[in-house]
Structure 1
């Protein structure tokens, strides 16, 4: 039987070994999912919500074990890993709260002699492909609403964080979900491609890179199976002249460096009104210099390693290329003793004298680095913010709500923030435009992609 190793970025040691499923295992899982769907969808919505609420309780009860596992698997400082379990609970409970409203049948205006309605009905087997950077927060966006709507789920987690899938399975079983309603498979890429193209699969939810999204699309190209894609980002922040600068700097810096910059909606580009440029740059550098880069299992570390050395080296190359093109890197990596070439430990970085010919301003970095540019007006900021093939989130920092809305309406992005960033509100739709993806998760609108409308048109003959 084929196996794979989970290598911790903390010290490159083998954390665990897991087995790949055989083709027979995958076939059996899809058959079981199909059988389970027929009975699961017949449960009342109230009963499904009750069981899923118990599953959330069960997962939260595993918080201490999960915190250690997240830190060891993907390298986030252990002091920050508890927030992921809290976020899982918040998003799950929000989606369970919204389910009755989102799934309520729609009744058109009355028509004498007829009874008409549109029901939202489940699709069937939903395959969720989840990434490593937020292993619970990304999976919950699709798993809980899919199950609440009456679908069954097969979860494939990143090879870097497979223990997250196992913990979720443990919680669902403890809650009493029937066998086959939630399953996980530690498939390789080839197996994933074959599985999502299988006619027994009704929908695919993918969170990951643009390259991965294209691979999903290729696998589905000969089918009529739909997919929701949350892909990469190059998210900008714009600090207007009237902004609260100290508030903006503190929050944008957190958006740049948290999780070692490995956040889909992390800040990678900063545009600052020219009046405040020097002040903002100094503040971002000062924030970065007080971070402690170290072993993520050490409670005093505030910046952990990236997920693997190859990812850190890719960021180093992007920074080096920008410097060769004329950018200035303001932080000396030698100030961070843990930073070493060809390791996952990478110092934070702020760059100035950048322009949009540089990869650092137009390609996803996914590391603790941002380029900062001065702008003279809202028009210039909008032009630069939209000069990207990505469109996940954008943040505007200002005291003027009307100006923020006016700028936000011109931005090509899925979410517009004012005076905050790098955050998902589960009451709002999480969506992207351009190469940041398609479809939506979270909010009542997230249920639209996990169900289909079914019309009932009854003529009354009595």
Structure 2
């Protein structure tokens, strides 16, 4: 795949970049390794000043960076600005809290005595150079939610970003340079996916984090496993959005639309399967479909646009194949189901779509639909809702709409997911751990859990 900015609203190639040579990659790894040797000894206060400066610069650049992201991958401009603001918030959150999150831990006096020591403490030390393999759908946020905690912990980063967002990738390297991080603390590698293995196998690279597709995760995990290196993976999702009889249907339907079409429907944590109790199915379906049909599809640079283009022609083709398969096997199209008239040939647009009568014979039941397509299911009771919600190879997050405490307790106990969001939509926040189970990956990002993923948890046992 070429390293290039291709505007998904027009299909026009705007900029192309040469991949780094093997010698250039080697130089960058050596620079990162040298940077870590010194940077690991800086204080939390030193790092907080640097990260705070990066947050200030990013905030100043908000409009320009947002336009770059929209140009490269098509998200509506307002959502791109919100992504920048979210990154600024996360940087400041970690700058202010990393020291306390990684403070030494002290077992109880009784446990210390029982261990035979006079003093025991647990300390967190950085691992070293961390390779980040990141996707295009949230090209700033996915990187910052790794970089902010990793840098505050004393690690250094190498970024292999998706090949269709090179300008965003280069901006991030420049941002940390302008913030006065030491040379080599954060570098972008403009390389193709085929060059990742050599970087990951390099003994100077200590660990890796990947957000992306299941095949990409399997590849990185297998290489890292062979090298016995730590990884954190956040992969695909097919999150359920369960609506029970006690739900506020107006609010549930409005939130369901946002949960499905955020980022043009290209989000791992977007709700994709809408599982609705039969008592409220008809009313919810009407409310939801009316709102999906009313969404404005168009130029993502237009402030009035709700849904922009998909990021690539291949991505749209994949989505069309899933919809065509479902319709061919009996699914009903309640709205959408095609390229929007007047837009579909200029750019990679697809109309917001609602499919009903979805069954497990259809590919869309088992595969992630990465675009603005919702699958509707009718269930007779709570047991059926839980079974259907779990009937997926993924387990990233889940959304539950109910005002019944018994329902909530059951969903929290039995849903196979990394998160259960009750009467709201899944969203990541720096204070909350984020990640999944099953084929959605392993490990956690954000919060104290995330910053400790790339630390060596060291027991210090001491006698006088």
TM over 0.5: yes
Question: Corresponding residue for 1:26?
Answer: 25
Aligned counterparts of 1:95 and 1:45: Cα–Cα separation in 2? 10
Matched, 1:367 2:367: no
Alignment of 1:99-178 (within 5 A): 99-110=98-109, 111=112, 114-178=118-182
Q: Is the 8 A contact 1:197 1:225 kept in 2?
A: no
> Mind listing any 5+ residue stretches in structure 1 that lack a counterpart?
none
Q: Is the 8 A contact 2:398 2:426 kept in 1?
A: no
Aligned counterparts of 1:199 and 1:289: Cα–Cα separation in 2? 53
Matched, 1:383 2:382: no
Alignment partner of 1:322 out of 319, 326, 347:
326
Alignment partner of 1:399 out of 399, 403, 407:
403
Question: Corresponding residue for 1:59?
Answer: 58
Q: Is the 8 A contact 2:133 2:210 kept in 1?
A: yes
SS of the equivalent of 1:393 reads coil
Matched, 1:264 2:280: no
| 1:170-211 deviations in Å (ceiling 9; x for gaps) | 221221111011111111111112101211111101000001
Structural RMSD (CA): 1.7
Normalising by the residue count of structure 1, what TM-score does the alignment of the two structures yield? 0.96
Aligned counterparts of 2:409 and 2:137: Cα–Cα separation in 1? 31
| 1:104-144 deviations in Å (ceiling 9; x for gaps) | 01112234672221110000001111110001111111111
How many pairs align? Answer: 459
Aligned counterparts of 1:334 and 1:135: Cα–Cα separation in 2? 27
Aligned counterparts of 2:65 and 2:51: Cα–Cα separation in 1? 19
The Cα shift of 1:335 comes to 9.1
The Cα shift of 1:238 comes to 0.4
Give the 3 Å change call, closer, same or farther, for CA 89–402 of structure 1 in structure 2.
Answer: farther
Give the 3 Å change call, closer, same or farther, for CA 390–25 of structure 1 in structure 2.
Answer: same
> Mind listing any 5+ residue stretches in structure 2 that lack a counterpart?
none
- Mean Cα deviation higher: 310-319 or 107-116: 107-116
Q: Is the 8 A contact 1:40 1:150 kept in 2?
A: yes
| 1:246-291 deviations in Å (ceiling 9; x for gaps) | 0000001111112111001001100111111111111121111111
- Mean Cα deviation higher: 116-125 or 102-111: 102-111
Q: Is the 8 A contact 1:59 1:167 kept in 2?
A: no
SS of the equivalent of 2:358 reads coil
Matched, 1:44 2:28: no
Normalising by the residue count of structure 2, what TM-score does the alignment of the two structures yield? 0.95
Alignment partner of 2:200 out of 184, 196, 221:
196
Aligned counterparts of 2:385 and 2:355: Cα–Cα separation in 1? 18
Give the 3 Å change call, closer, same or farther, for CA 163–396 of structure 1 in structure 2.
Answer: same
The Cα shift of 1:92 comes to 2.1
Alignment partner of 2:450 out of 446, 449, 462:
446
Aligned counterparts of 2:135 and 2:96: Cα–Cα separation in 1? 26
The Cα shift of 1:94 comes to 2.2
SS of the equivalent of 1:131 reads coil
Question: Corresponding residue for 1:417?
Answer: 421
Question: Corresponding residue for 2:281?
Answer: 277
The Cα shift of 1:343 comes to 5.2
- Mean Cα deviation higher: 182-191 or 202-211: 182-191
The Cα shift of 1:341 comes to 6.6
